[in-house]
Amino acid sequence: MVFSIRKPTHLIALLILMFVFAVFYILPFFILTGLIPGSEAQQRVTETYIVLNSAVTSTLLAGASIVWLTFVDNMRLKEILSYLKITGKNIDSAFIWGSAVFITIFFAQIVIALFLSLLGVHIENPVANEIAGALSIGSMVFIAVVQSTSEEIFFRGFLLEKIGGYSGYTLAIFATAFLFGLAHMGYGRIYPIIMPLIMGLLLGYVVVKTKNLFSSITAHITFNLVSFALYVISQSIQSVNL
């Protein structure tokens, strides 16, 4: 179905999508440029606030995609799942590819971090460390699973297919990776934008390759879980040394 501004349901879907882009790009841009203090605002957050923030973010990302496909494209649930490539077909292959991409991302992060360190670029992410430090293991798992899944639904499911339908998947992979990187501007530093951008390229590629969103979901969730686990281990080692 063609989008029509005269249809109330289409207008609502557009407003929801615009709100998502405002939250993920306009507000983070102000934080990155220093117009809004990022790290200072994070100092007073609690675990409950972080988890609720993640739940709301996940609802917005997945919800905006589903609302658009339902009311603008007039799809039913089965068609939506098919469009987003959420399918059990070739799921074994999707998990294998997802695991391979996770390993690639993990080692790519190490190489990039070392390279940037040699160039004198600061790769610390105090906001992310501050957030992780406020979370229990259960909350870490919740965020890693729920938010990672919703991000894949929005970026590699909804946007990748929308852009790919107009311009081809090659441009769609780069465009969604760029948007995925910019969505991390809220951390207030360049490195947390570069790494998700590279990560987005690999996640976009594996979805196009496997035609299954579970491949990128597997890679994304595993990466975040391992990152949280390494943070917990590093904090435990530091506390022992102290």
Measuring CA to CA, which residue among 176, 219, 224 is closest to residue 61?
176
Sequence letter at residue 21: F
Q: Could you give the CA distance from residue 93 to residue 108 in angstroms, rounded to a whole number?
A: 22
Tell which residue, 182, 142, 185, 180, has the closest CA to residue 158. 180
- Parts of the chain with a pLDDT under 50: 39-42
**Residue 117 is inside which H or E element, if any?**
helix 91-118
pLDDT digits (tens, 9 = 90+) for 152-202: 999 999 999 999 999 999 999 999 999 999 998 877 677 778 889 999 999
Residues 6+ apart with CB under 8 A from 77: none
Q: Would the CA dihedral through 204, 210, 211, 212 be positive or negative?
A: negative
Residue 156's pLDDT is 98
Residue 188's pLDDT is what?
Answer: 64
pLDDT of residue 41: 44
DSSP code at position 7:
S
What tokens appear for 96 in the block? 């294998």
pLDDT digits (tens, 9 = 90+) for 211-227: 999 999 999 999 999 99
- Give me the sign of the Cα torsion angle 31, 192, 211, 164: positive
- As a whole number of angstroms, the distance between CA 92 and CA 214 comes to 10
Question: Alpha-carbon distance 225 to 231, whole Å?
Answer: 10
Residue with tokens 């983070």, as numbered in its chain: 28
